[in-house]
A and B are shown apart, each in its own frame.
Chain A
Amino acid sequence: MIEIRLHGRGGQGAVTANEILAEAAYYEGKYAQAIPMYGTERRGAPVTAFLRLDEVRVRERDLVHNPDIVVVLDPAIAQRPSILEGLKAGGLVIANYPHPPERFPLGGNFRVTTVDATAIALETLKRPITNTAILGAFSKVTGLVKVESIEKAILHRFPGTLGEMNVKAVRMAFERTPAPIQAVGGVKEKDEEGPLSGSGYGLIRSAAGWRTFRPVWNYEKCTGCRICWIFCPDNAIGWGEERPTVDYRKCKGCGICVNECPTKAVEFKREEI
């Protein structure tokens, strides 16, 4: 039995990716079990899903604690040591990460491959929904499920143009994903941002990793009207000395400030990893 854990953010479709993979495996005569972990709806917050694949009926019903493979849909989450929790020795990490596997920041006894799924999603879907692209990478490096089966499952789920665009994303990722290498990054034990799963009532430490895009201010264009400040839901924009200042630990990257600034003084730039 192969056990897989998926990490993503609310809105990136980790749960859907999991189900598509299970369906694709089913087309190939395998047994599959997809387990979502639901909290309340939080777009942008870390989410986890689990998958089991086998040639015989799967009888376990627990969450996956010791995955053979970890799939990460988000580059900020890919940097967090918590994704390695319970990963079997010699296991595999498939990460949405903008740099080649040699530059993957985490190290240890596992193999890793990377693909810039966010760029692929932005190119094909025009939105940073990385769940289907990462499946192309999964098929390429694990060979557990054929890319044709993944495409069939996608088209079954999203008929029409939406399905076609997602298939394009899968193929692009399939082509661009390099073979996994032994992880060479540093060993980090502590996860600064706290646990990856579990419902998040109350305070969390930082929302920095929620962003795909980062708002950047051009003060030359700013008239000091306070509009960005008043509309920020997360109070990430402070008001000091007649101009707005941003606290990137609080900013979730919703883009309201970018959309509402009357002089276009706030610009959205892709978050650098």
Chain B
Amino acid sequence: MSERITIKQIPLEELVITPGSACQGCGAALAARLAFKALGPNTIRHSIPACPDNVTRTPTSGGEFEAGGDHVTGTWRALKALGREDVQVVGFYGDGGVYDIGFQSISGAAIRNENVFIICKNNEAYMNTGGQVSGATPQLAMTTTTPVGPMSRGKPNSRKNTPMIFAMHGVPYVATASVAFPTDLIAKIQYGKGIKGFKFLDILSPCPTGWRFEPNKTIEVARLAVQTGFWPLYEIIDGRKFRLTYKPRELKPVAEYLKLQGRFRHLTEEEIKEIQRDITDYWERLLKLDEIGEILL
């Protein structure tokens, strides 16, 4: 399991070349900056179409949206053939490329337990092309393809639970993280880096443009997602050992999180209550898993 670190233990070395062309206050740009600090220079980065985040000082290649898992597989196997097993191969992808379009190729890499690290900068929609709905978009969120109007209340169905789906592949390491908890995020990558096999980290990366909040609120929003249980922080080893890495005595009301964002502006009190019910129910189940330290499946 990952070990607790403090902010002073975060490496000072920066692997990003800035300024990049991401929006002001972009959560995904911060996710890239933090993740590559933890990964270090001995890393090969692979990208598929997504919002520009931060350019990194690592060898980088790009490929097709649907084939992220295949690209990292090929890169890792080539390194293995060259005897360079010390190099981290990282697929740094958006939620569209991980949850939806690229899912089959990444699932394939997980099943084969390839020695790769898939990191998802999850901004919960296809923000690169103007904010279309993705499998990561939460229920009732307004996106450009799930607008709010007489016939629609936003996205009709709930988010895909992709971290759990990857955990159920039985891979060595799966975790969730948030840009508002940088020590937790970095500790998880440092831990995952030391494991051979398939690793998956899902980083909730608020998008001021698509979620509709002011750019200075990125961390505030990201923090509330965790404190309200909307985005629980946990890690799973071998699809079995389970641990919550952030466990407040009490969760904040989810309304505090929703009300900061324009994409939820239309919600009625009744709808907020419904979301609260789902969140509380899921959080209680995670607490039970955390207590026994295991997923009983």
> Which residues of A line the B interface, CB within 8 A?
10-11, 40-45, 127, 200-204, 206-207, 210, 225-227, 230-236, 239, 249-256, 258-260
Contacts and interface: CB of A to CB of B under 8 A. Distances in A.
Given A41-B51, A233-B25, A254-B24, 7 more contacts: A41-B23, A43-B24, A43-B208, A43-B209, A226-B8, A253-B24, A260-B220
Contact of B23 (A43, A226, A250): A43
A233 B21 contact: no
A253 B30 CA distance: 14
Given A41-B127, A41-B210, A255-B25, A250 B18 contact: yes
Contact of B216 (A11, A204, A236, A256): A256
B151 interface: no
Contacts of A210: 24
B130 interface: yes
B296 to A, nearest CB: 37
A230 B182 contact: yes
A254 B218 contact: yes
8 contacts: A40-B129, A41-B128, A204-B21, A230-B7, A231-B179, A233-B218, A235-B18, A253-B24
Contacts of A251: 19
B20 interface: yes
CB-based closest 7 A-B pairs = A255-B216, A254-B25, A43-B23, A207-B19, A200-B21, A233-B30, A254-B24
Nearest to A239: B12
B26 interface: yes
A-side interface mostly: loop
A204 B21 CA distance: 7
B54 interface: yes
Contacts of A255: 25, 214-216
Given A202-B55, A233-B29, A254 B215 contact: yes
B236 interface: no
A234 B18 contact: yes
A232 B214 CA distance: 15
Given A226-B8, A233-B33, A255-B214, A201 B19 contact: no
* Highest count of chain A CB atoms <10 Å: which of B7, B34, B129, B215: B215
B178 to A, nearest CB: 12
B246 to A, nearest CB: 17
Interface in B1-57: 7-8, 10, 12, 14, 16-27, 29-30, 33-34, 51-52, 54-55
Interface of B: 7-8, 10, 12, 14, 16-27, 29-30, 33-34, 51-52, 54-55, 127-131, 179, 182, 208-210, 214-220
A253 B179 CA distance: 18
A230 B178 CA distance: 13
A252 B220 contact: no
Nearest to B179: A231
Contacts of B16: 235
A10 B51 CA distance: 15
A235 B31 CA distance: 12
Contacts of A43: 23-25, 208-209, 215
Residue among B25, B51, B55 with the most chain A CB within 10 A?
B25
B52 A41 contact: no
A259 B55 contact: no
A252 B54 CA distance: 13
Contact of B24 (A204, A230, A252): A252
A40 B51 contact: yes
A69 B55 CA distance: 37
A225 B7 contact: yes
B148 to A, nearest CB: 15
A204 B19 CA distance: 7
B153 to A, nearest CB: 21
A191 B72 CA distance: 40
A268 to B, nearest CB: 8
Given A259-B216, A260-B219, A234 B20 contact: yes
A231 B182 contact: yes
B217 A233 contact: no
Nearest to B25: A254
Given A41-B127, A254-B218, A256-B219, A233 B22 contact: yes
Nearest to A44: B24
B22 A42 contact: yes
Contacts of B26: 233
A203 B17 contact: yes
A236 B22 contact: no
B147 to A, nearest CB: 16
Contact of B19 (A11, A127, A252, A259): A252
A232 B34 CA distance: 10
Contacts of A230: 7, 10, 34, 182
A258 B216 contact: yes
Contacts of A10: 23, 209
Nearest to B51: A40
Contacts of B20: 203-204, 234
Given A41-B130, A43-B24, A227 B7 contact: yes
B84 to A, nearest CB: 27
A239 B13 CA distance: 10
